[in-house]
Chain A
Amino acid sequence: MRRRASATAALLALGAALAIVAGAYATPERAAAPAAQSGSDAASVKCGKTRTIGFMVPVTGPAASIGVQQQHWAQYYVSTYNKTHKGTKFKLQTEDTQLGAPTGTAEALKGAQALAGSPNVLGVVGPAGSNEIVGVTKTLMDGGLAWVSGSSTRTTLTTDGTRTGYMFRTVPPDAVQSTTVANYISNKLKYKRVYIIDDQETYSTGLADAVQAKLRAAGATVGRDGVSQQQSDFSSLIAKIARDTQIVYIPWQLPPKGQAFGNQMKAAGKGSIKLMGSDGLFDSSFASVGAHVYDTNFPLNPKSKIIAGFKKQHGGDGEYFGAPSYAATQVVATAINRACKTGTTTRAKVRAAIRTTAIPAKASLIGVALRFNRNGDLSTLHGFGLYKSNGKDFVPIPG
């Protein structure tokens, strides 16, 4: 009995001690303003010769196949920059976010913390996924870091106002892409029987919803389904697609899955139904399904020297999904250099420099100049490029 009493007393003492310590370090004043980390926001950093860009990318995990493309493109920018510039060099501090991994956004969060905590990191390229951005928003903003994503397309990320001035992206949002797709299907192809399948990931459902709404408004009959990204047996799903369907729209992000789907359609005797993918599927592996495959992508300039150089280094593979990450790296690097004119800079200055980015069309592989609007979206890009397969590769077609 006495032991229990003393134990309880000790417990109370412990609780009180912890509460006092906690109180001492976590006063409401500190909470009101994000002062605890504002040091890194305004802290002035020596730019030095080698400048560091934070890079959040899924190098491993289920989405690694697209993450690696982004990594290649970002590294391509850095290596060509470093080769052609004598005075300054860039290096990437890569944090693996494991997008789509069974541990979820925890890895992205830790990576963001690591970047926010490294004083040398002045700006961030990535993260890749829209949900990752939602997860790391607070961390990066508390650290005063701006980030430029090359693949997160959820429209509300920039329009809901919570990340204004911090988040930028070099891909157009779903709203732009879905309009291009829906207009093409209903006005150009004049198809009335459409089937849409999303892959249950946030990128995909957003696009699928938007296209579905627009096509229905245009009077088309739209069937809708979803299939988990972890699945590659589509046979029963394909059985469900009526044989008189005219086109199947699959806004997915893993080109091999699109290829598998297309091949399984053919094996099921439904190879005559047209297929349309999204920028996530813009890859020769998806194009190889056949000449009945359409796709959309931001209007890459296929004659661009940058793309040719990249292809040469990577065995002829364009890895186009990663291309906007090249633009994102370019934006961040240029902004850091501008903010570094005096030799020292702050993260706030880099943010401001990114906001006022102006990269001429000549230097950009997207084909148009890179400038951001107030929300952080590209103000220079209003439509998506349309492509059709020639059986091996995608070639641009008039929209």
Chain B
Amino acid sequence: MNWSLFFDLTVSGLTLGSLYALIALGYSMVYGILKLLNFAHGDVYMIGAFLGWYTLHALGGPLNPTISGVFVLFVMFIVSMLGCGVLGVAIERFAYRPLRNAPRIAPLISALGVSIFLQNSALLIFGASFRDYDTFDLIGVKTFSVGQLFFSVTQLLTVVLAVLLMVALTIFVARSRLGKAMRSTSFDREAASMMGIDVDRVIAVTFFIGSALAGAAGVMFGLVFGQIYHYMGFIAGLKGFTAAVLGGIGSIPGAMVGGLIVGLAESYATGYLPQGSTFQNLYVFALLIAVILIRPSGLFGTAAIQKV
């Protein structure tokens, strides 16, 4: 057994997995409440990455930031998360809320429209070229090694931050009043509205949180992998989506575990399976299909009772 390869793959799988988990949470939370696949979610993540980039450059760029490097990072995350949160709420208000009583396919199509719109707006404004985060210059990418285990500071940062965000979300949903309202709305929207819960507000908050998490994931992607471009949302969205379904769409712990599984599966498939990196997406999709054929509700999902 080549342990060095195994460790490398695990580290990269965990990093990817944390990103996917953050994206998956947005899909899952929205689905839990609205039963809507928010196709535009991947593009919100892309916008988040660009917001981070613009913040970085507004603060003087990676080479000579006007404030200290760590603080720049902090501001990047805050701006990107807030910006994406607001974007998510706007999308909900404009593209989904008017369609809440329309046939189910209508909001799906609307979501597709938003996705096309965001992606090409980004092309229009940011251009087709790649934007560099230049993480090396900003904080200096140190590589740590513990025995044969190599990891970089950005990878560590990503995993730790993702875990923190997920813990915060879990506490929020479990403990706060709004979290309680979210859970009850997702359980039965009508009943919740009859109990005096402002469903519209709950939905807006859900979109805000989900999109903010995607924004954070976008900045993390830029930090770890260096480059962002207008097309990056599509494939990341698909993966996040896979993670959400794998874990059981609508389930928050499911999305987290699903994200990690997808990240690790992708990494191990690349490393160990024949033609791994060529067919890595195929392997991940195959895993997904196997899971939903055996357990259609996903790992953590509860079997849906069809309401009549």
Q: Does B12 contact A (CB under 8 A)?
A: yes
For A67, list chain B residues within 8 Å (CB): 128
Number of A-B contacts (CB under 8 A): 118
B267 touches A232 (CB 8 A): no
Q: Is the CB of B4 within 8 A of A236?
A: no
Chain A min CB distance to B236 (Å): 9
Chain A residue contacts of B172, Cβ below 8 A: none
- CB atoms of B278 and A200 under 8 A apart: yes
A60 near B226 (CB under 8 angstroms)? no
Among A65, A200, A225, A232, the residue within 8 A (CB) of B276 is A225
- Give the CA-CA distance A243 to B4 in the complex, in Å: 10
**Least distance between A369 CB and chain B CB atoms (Å):** 34
Among residues of A, the one whose C-beta sits closest to the C-beta of B221 is A233
Q: Within 8 Å CB of B129, what residues of A?
A: 64-65, 68, 256
B81 on the interface (CB 8 Å rule)? no
Stretch of B69-77, B210-218, B227-235 with 4 or more beta carbons under 8 angstroms from chain A: B227-235
Taking a contact as CB atoms under 8 Å apart, the answer to whether B130 and A254 are in contact is: yes
Instruction: Give the contacts of B147-197 with A (CB-CB under 8 A).
Output: 150, 152, 154-155
Evaluate whether A263 and B226 lie within 8 angstroms (CB atoms) in the complex, with A239-B12, A268-B150 already known.
yes
Complex-state Cα separation, A256 to B231, whole angstroms: 14
Q: How many residues of A contact B (CB 8 A)?
A: 37
Q: Are B5 and A267 in contact (CB under 8 A)?
A: no
Is A260 interfacial (CB-CB < 8 Å)?
Answer: yes
B277 touches A240 (CB 8 A): yes
CB-nearest residue of chain A relative to B134? A263
Are B226 and A235 within 8 A (Cβ)?
no
Contact between B132 and A259, CB atoms less than 8 A apart: yes
B18 at the interface (CB under 8 A from A): no
| Inter-chain contacts of A240 with B (CB < 8 A) | 5, 9, 270-271, 276-277
Which residues of B have CB within 8 Å of A285? 132
Q: How far is the CB of B231 from chain A (nearest CB, A)?
A: 6
B141 touches A267 (CB 8 A): yes
Query: With the chains together, A197 CA to B278 CA distance in Å?
Result: 10
B130/A236 in contact, CB under 8 A: no
Question: From residue 48 to 104 of chain A, which have CB atoms closer than 8 A to chain B?
Answer: 60-62, 64-65, 67-68
Residues of B near A263 (CB, < 8 A) are: 135-136, 141, 226
* B 225-254 contacts with A by CB, 8 A: 225-227, 229, 231-232, 234-235
A234 CA to B226 CA, complexed, in Å: 11
B132 and A256 contact, CB distance less than 8 A: yes
**Of all chain B residues, which has the CB nearest A242?**
B5
Min CB gap B184→A, angstroms: 38
A257 sits at the interface (CB 8 A): yes
Residues in B with CB closer than 8 Å to A20 are: none
Interface pair B231/A230, CB less than 8 Å apart: yes
A397 CB-CB contact with B under 8 Å: no
Query: For the complex, is B281 an interface residue (Cβ under 8 Å from A)?
Result: yes
Q: In angstroms, how far is the closest chain A Cβ from the Cβ of B199?
A: 36
Would you give 14 A-B contacts (Cβ < 8 Å), ordered by A? A61-B128, A65-B128, A65-B130, A225-B275, A225-B277, A228-B235, A236-B16, A238-B8, A240-B270, A240-B276, A254-B130, A260-B226, A267-B155, A268-B143
